[in-house]
Structure 1
Amino acid sequence: MGAMWLLEKWQCHKCEKGFLLIDEDAKGRNVHCPFCGQAGNHVESVAGQNPDFDYREEMGCLWPGYNELDKVCYQMSRGQISKEQANEYIQAILRGQKTDLPV
Structure 2
Amino acid sequence: MSLHQRRDVLEKLAALFGTASVAGLPFREENGEILTGVVDRIVDDLAVVLLEDDGELVDQTTLPVDELPGPAKEEGTVLELVMDGDDVDRVRYDKPETERRREEAEDRFDELAD
Q: Name the TM-score class by shorter chain.
A: under 0.3
Greater share of residues in strand: 2
TM-score normalised over the length of structure 2: 0.26
TM-score normalised over the length of structure 1: 0.27
Instruction: Please identify the structure whose Cα radius of gyration is greater.
Output: 2
